């Protein structure tokens, strides 16, 4: 059975890669946790199989890179009219970015991010031992 190690700023956490491992929870930690540093998967002989830190993986394993949607605003122009309250109205152009790809709507950006994250999850899935899960027999 493979072992995952989640490295935070102050400590490391070992995670068993068994049937109870949740990839969505891992992606939530990677993308949103401020103290997260890296995640690595090792086999029984402590050989590195996958990591979120690219220099460790360079040619030796799988690089795990989930993506996140970012909003970017660009100020296009400002309207000024003295007798209106507020007197200025700012007009923005909003774009959504996902790992360098630019989208006009949030919906399309979110669909693309979900597709990329699903592909990353499929690449992680072979390292997870799902045979330990047994349904109860009646």
User: pTM here?
Assistant: 0.82
- To the nearest whole number, what is the mean pLDDT of the chain? 90
Q: Which of 35, 2, 8 is nearest to 124 (CA)?
A: 2
Note the pLDDT of residue 107: 97
Q: Angle CA(61)–CA(64)–CA(66) in degrees, nearest 5? A: 165
Note the pLDDT of residue 130: 75
Q: Tell me what the mean pLDDT of segment 32-37 comes to.
A: 94
Give me the residues paired with residue 75 across strands. 92
Note the pLDDT of residue 31: 94
Q: What percent of the chain has pLDDT over 90?
A: 67
Taking the CA atoms of 34, 37, 39 and 44 in sequence, report the sign of the dihedral they define: negative
| Euclidean distance between CA atoms 63 and 40, whole angstroms | 9
| Euclidean distance between CA atoms 26 and 21, whole angstroms | 9
Q: Which of 55, 70, 54, 69 is nearest to 116 (CA)?
A: 69
| pLDDT-wise least confident of 19-28, 34-43, 56-65 | 56-65
Note the pLDDT of residue 25: 93
């Amino acid at each position: 059975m493979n072992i995952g190690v989640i490295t935070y700023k102050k400590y490391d956490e070992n995670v068993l890669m068994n049937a109870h491992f949740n990839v969505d929870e891992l992606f939530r930690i990677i993308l949103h946790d401020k103290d997260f540093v890296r995640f690595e998967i090792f086999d029984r002989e402590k050989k590195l199989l996958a990591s979120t830190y690219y220099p460790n993986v360079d040619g030796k394993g799988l690089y795990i890179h989930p993506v996140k949607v970012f909003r970017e605003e660009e100020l296009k122009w400002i309207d000024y009219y003295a007798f209106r309250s507020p007197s200025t109205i700012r007009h923005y152009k909003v774009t959504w970015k996902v790992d360098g790809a630019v989208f006009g709507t949030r919906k399309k950006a979110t669909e693309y991010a979900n597709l990329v994250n699903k592909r990353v999850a499929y690449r992680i899935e072979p390292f997870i031992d799902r045979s330990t899960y047994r349904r109860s027999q009646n």
